[in-house]
Structure formats: C-alpha cells, structure tokens
Amino acid sequence: MQDVSKSAVKAFLLELQDRICQALEAVDGEAKFEQDEWQREQGGGGRSRVLRHGAVIEQGGVNFSHVFGDQMPASATAHRPELAGRRFEAMGVSLVIHPNNPYVPTSHANVRFFIAEKDGEPPVWWFGGGFDLTPFYPFDDDCLHWHDTAKAICQPFGDEVYAEHKAWCDKYFFLPHRNETRGVGGLFFDDLNQWGFEKSFAYMQAVGNGYLTAYLPIVEKRHPLPFTEREREFQLYRRGRYVEFNLVYDRGTLFGLQSGGRTESILMSMPPLARWEYCYQPAEDSAEARLSQHYLKPRDW
C-alpha cells in the first residue's frame, strides 16, 4: 500500500494558489489580489485571495482551504454513507474568474483532496477537481483550445480518461430546471483513488497546472474586443444562471457551508453583478440565441 502524503498535497496546493494568482495579476496588468487568512472554529482554516475592479478581471477569487473535524458533513457522505462518523481532512484550491468583457468567458477550476480516518482501520482518501468554461459569446476556436488542453492533460493517464471526465463535467455542470449546461464543459472528476496515491496525485496536479494553459490564451485574445451595453446586459443575465447553479447544485458550496467554512470565502464564486429577467427570449438568429441553441448542451469538441 502506497503511503498517503497529506503534507505533499498541501505544499502543492499552496504553491498552485501562488502561481495562479501571479499569472492572473500579470494578465490583468492593474489590480492585485487581496488576501484574507481565516481560521475555522471546528478545525483548520485557509487563505482567500480576491481581485476586484481590474482592467481585465471584474472580480476573481482564488482560495486555499484546509479544514478538518470529527464528523464528515452530510454533503460528503451522501453517496458514501459508510464514512459517516469518521474524522476527516479536506484541502483544496478553488477559483472563479469573472472578467469585465462579455467576450471573455467566466472560468472555474478546483482541485481537492479528502481523507477520512478511523482508529484501527485504513484511511479512505480520494482526489477530485476539474475545470470548466462558461462563455457568453462563444468562439469555436476558444472551445477547441480549452478541450484540446484538457485532452493533452488526460492522455498520459489513459486513453479513456478525457472522454470519461469530459462527460462527467457535462453531467455535473447541468441545470435541470433550465435544461442546459452551465457552459461548454471541460473536466470533472471525484472519488479518484483507484489508481493509487502517486498516480492519482499526479493527475490532480496535471489538472491544476493545466488551468492556466487552457484559460490565459483565451483571455489574452478576447479582452481587447469592443463591446456594447447590449453585450454587457446579456453577460449579467447569464451570470444569473451561474448563481443558480452554485447555490442550488454545487457540492463544493454545500460542503463549505455544511462544514462551517468561512461564508465569504465559499461565496466568492458569486459574480459581483448579475441580473434576472422574467421570461427573457433572445432575438431569433442572434448571437444571444446561438449560445443556448449550439453551446449549452453536451458536445464533442
């Protein structure tokens, strides 16, 4: 049995947070991340970093957390009831970037590690994570680059990995009450332990490291594009769907709230501005209509 190194996972996650923040500050060119360190009363804590009012990024958060306790939250044992009552540790980096320009997609990434322990029994651990892209005015080139990057990340770990984790992403980031995906997908995985610790950890690292490769070229290409108030209003309307998913379906949000995490850090994924419009219908054959008709459904890239 391979040794499980919690310290190695934590060291990687802290370094990943640093590197992603530095890269996003560089592409924004104006704003800087502000850091809040916090402690959780039941055990653990984290450091939350938020960038606001930037030249490129309206608001973005890159959070690291490491929490532990004597009882796993209900969201973590809903599909693993045999783990109820075990001590747990959970650590991860989670980020959401909401750009100013409607032609730059919102992006999300998360990599995490859970371990549940009980005296006299072997630990139960797993990795999870992924990244997904939520455009408002999609470009096929951007979607292809995003998914090609995901394929390249997965390939060393098995020919079937991209297809499986891409399909898992499409299924997970789906709003049943709207009958649409949150965006154009990417990768999603959870409960990963069947490869053993070293390979599973290596895959989690590859996904975390691959986020910048996938996202930064899109930001650099699209943020100079001009836009009007019409595109801005549509961006805010579509951000409302992002809020709906995160508050109703997202397991990470539920886990954070149920485990007594820092509310401000958990909800940093919310956009700074969003709007809802009763019975909105885009104009026929418009760019706004094409988003729903051609992109917000599972698709092979």
Note the pLDDT tens digit of each residue in 23-34: 999 999 999 999
Domains detected in the chain: 6-295 (3.40.1500.10)
The yes-or-no verdict on residue 18 having pLDDT over 80 is yes
User: Cβ of 297: how many Cβ atoms within 10 Å?
Assistant: 14
Q: 31 φ, ψ to 5°?
A: -90, 160
Range with lowest mean pLDDT among 53-62, 99-108, 112-121: 112-121
pLDDT digits (tens, 9 = 90+) for 155-206: 999 999 999 999 999 999 999 999 999 999 999 999 999 999 999 999 999 9
Does the annotation count 66 as an active-site position?
no
The yes-or-no verdict on residue 77 having pLDDT over 80 is no
Annotated binding site for substrate: 94, 110-112, 260-262
The total number of residues shown for the chain amounts to 301
Residue 280 burial class via C-beta count within 10 angstroms: exposed 0-12, middle 13-18, buried 19 and up? exposed
Nearest 5°: the CA angle 290, 227, 105 is: 55
The yes-or-no verdict on residue 74 having pLDDT over 70 is no
Q: One of 53, 79, 108, 145 is an active-site residue; which one?
A: 108
Rg over alpha carbons for the chain, rounded to the nearest Å, is 19
Indicate the average pLDDT of the chain. Answer: 94
pTM of the model: 0.93
Q: Is residue 33 within 8 Å of residue 249, measured between CB atoms?
A: no
C-alpha span between 51 and 260 (Å, rounded): 24
Annotated binding site: 94, 98, 108, 110-112, 147, 177, 260-262
The yes-or-no verdict on residue 1 having pLDDT over 80 is no
Annotated binding site for a divalent metal cation: 98, 108, 147, 177
pLDDT at 256: 80
**Mapping DSSP to helix (H, G, I), strand (E, B) and coil, where does residue 106 land?**
strand
Query: What number is the average pLDDT over the span 277-299?
Result: 95
pLDDT at 251: 84
pLDDT digits (tens, 9 = 90+) for 223-262: 999 999 999 999 999 999 999 999 999 988 887 888 777 8
